[in-house]
Amino acid sequence: MRPCRRRSCSLTSAPFAVLPAAALLSLASCAGDATTPVEAPADPDPPPVPAEATAWIERNAIPFEGSHLSLRNSDIGFLRDIVGDARVVSLGENTHGTRDFFEMKARILRFLVEEMGFDAFAIEATWPEANRLDDYVRRGEGDAAELLSGLYFWTWNTESVLEMIEWMRAHNEAGGDLGFHGFDMQYPGMALHNVLEYLRVVDPDRVDSFAARLECLVRVANNPSGRFPETRYADQTADYRAACGTSLGEVRDSVVAHRADYEAIGGEDAFALALQSMRVAIQYHLMIVGDQSRDQSMAENTVWLHRRLGPESRIVLWAHNFHVSTQPGAQGWYLRGSYGDAMVILGFSHESGTFTGVRQRGSSYFGLDQMVLDAVRPLSYEHHLSTAAAPRYFLDLRNREVGAAGTAWLSNPRLFRTIGCCYNPDSPSSYWNHHPVAEWYDVLIHYGVTRPTIVLPSRYPDSF
């Protein structure tokens, strides 16, 4: 396939989609994917990118043919050197609605699985719901489209992700052993349901007592079938949430105290899964009351999952650029503390094109739409990256020489575009923020032009 040159690429349109009510309730879930907006002043006469910087980028840029996972692995064989012996590869995305990013992440997953022995995939989605997709990719249980929609996020409910899931299923049917997992904890409904179903088996005499203590969160949690309550946990009084937190802790402590008895009845694996479900519910409570951040919980769940998979397991993580980064407080920051150089972080950037996002005006949201990227800011990272001749390429930031003229632009924070799930086209400057990108990512995957994701209809499974 002949590579598409950046100045002549045509953009495939994504159909307008109406945002489901459940998704509207979950907008806060990706609000943290973009840092606090800082207005970037316009420069009417921007200075040019230094020639030394352009020369360094040209020397180090590694072009590739395209993004689709059907392309030949040999085209991105350089990933062997980039990844090396890493046990964790984290893949970001600069928006939650860019098709090329999603396709490329699926392509990287395929390469790492087929060429480097990676055996696990985990995404920014709630852990219990993602387990149902693990059942699908391993054993063909359920309907892939329904289960994908059942992750609650319109961001993942796309043609590109569904295609990746079907590839994972085909890989396993051919003898592979690739797992699909989630590390998020924003929706405790299914986790609570799983805890009660487990206790119904191992401790039937006390299950009603447990259910009464969990009711404080069950009644204001999401239902795994996609239904959300009219009254949210975050809207409850501080006293209500404090009492509920105490009840949740009592259930967890009781489960831990009866571990030997429960494992004798249901086995070690079932106990571990039930206890993790209880942790997810408590993590949700801690996030709402402000005692523990979502990113810290996602990092904890990632480490728990990886340990469960075993010391030889190698895992690919999928999340927003913010989460995978080593910005203090981000998931990647916590994971860097756990894995060190055994984790490689790949961020994504782009210059122009369109993306899918929730149209925003102030504090109001108006459903999914196709958004247009504004022009890159003068001397931003994207401005520097645009000087390369290749339409798309990898850039290993670990190859920079600190203090050298060609990499001076990487030494200090500068503007870098950051968009989450929502976008206000009246305020494009607010999505440009000063970041030390070379400190937050090991590698950048840069595109001149990108296309929007194609969102699928919501088809929630009947979970209960």
What is the chain's mean pLDDT, rounded?
91
Looking at residue 224, its pLDDT comes to 64
pLDDT confidence band for 203 (50 / 70 / 90)? very high
List the single range of 3-7, 203-207, 251-255, 279-283 with lowest mean pLDDT: 3-7
Residues with Cβ within 8 Å of 160's Cβ and at least 6 positions away in sequence, in order, are 99, 102, 103, 106, 453, 454
Q: How much of the chain exceeds pLDDT 70, in percent?
A: 89
DSSP 6: G
DSSP state string for 261-304: HHHHHH-HHHHHHHHHHHHHHHHHHHHHHTSS-HHHHHHHHHHH
Looking at residue 19, its pLDDT comes to 44
Looking at residue 225, its pLDDT comes to 65
Is 90 exceeded by the pLDDT of residue 32?
A: no
- Looking at residues 46-53, what average pLDDT do you find? 90
Is 60 exceeded by the pLDDT of residue 409?
A: yes
Looking at residue 189, its pLDDT comes to 94
Q: Where are the beta strands (DSSP E) in 245-314?
A: none
Is 50 exceeded by the pLDDT of residue 430?
A: yes
pLDDT digits (tens, 9 = 90+) for 290-332: 999 999 999 999 999 999 999 999 999 999 999 999 999 999 9
pLDDT digits (tens, 9 = 90+) for 210-266: 999 999 999 999 876 667 787 899 999 999 999 999 999 999 999 999 999 999 999
pLDDT digits (tens, 9 = 90+) for 175-201: 999 999 999 999 999 999 999 999 999
Q: What CATH number was assigned to the domain covering residues 6-173+315-450?
A: 3.40.1660.10
Is 70 exceeded by the pLDDT of residue 75?
A: yes
Is 60 exceeded by the pLDDT of residue 16?
A: no
CA distances in angstroms from 160 to 165, 359, 387, listed in the order given? 9, 21, 29
- Looking at residues 91-112, what average pLDDT do you find? 99
In the chain, where are the structural domains located?
A: 6-173+315-450, 189-308
Looking at residue 227, its pLDDT comes to 72
Q: How much of the chain exceeds pLDDT 90, in percent?
A: 83
Is 50 exceeded by the pLDDT of residue 12?
A: no
pLDDT digits (tens, 9 = 90+) for 107-135: 999 999 999 999 999 999 999 999 999 99
**Residue 38 CA to its chain's centroid (Å):** 23
List the single range of 212-226, 254-268, 276-290, 344-358 with lowest mean pLDDT: 212-226
- Looking at residues 93-112, what average pLDDT do you find? 99
Of 428, 419, 424, give the one whose Cα is nearest residue 366: 424
Is 60 exceeded by the pLDDT of residue 47?
A: yes
- Looking at residues 436-449, what average pLDDT do you find? 98
Element (H, E) at 90: strand 88-91
Looking at residue 459, its pLDDT comes to 82
pLDDT digits (tens, 9 = 90+) for 410-427: 988 999 999 999 999 999
Architecture of domain 189-308 in this structure:
Up-down Bundle (1.20)
Same fold, 6-173+315-450 and 189-308: no
- Looking at residues 396-406, what average pLDDT do you find? 90
d(CA 440, CA 77): 24
Which residue intervals of 150-206 are DSSP H helices? 159-173, 189-202
d(CA 156, CA 152): 8
Which residue intervals of 77-143 are DSSP H helices? 79-83, 99-116, 127-139
Is 60 exceeded by the pLDDT of residue 34?
A: no
Would you call 127 exposed, middle or buried from its count of C-beta atoms within 10 A (0-12, 13-18, 19+)?
buried
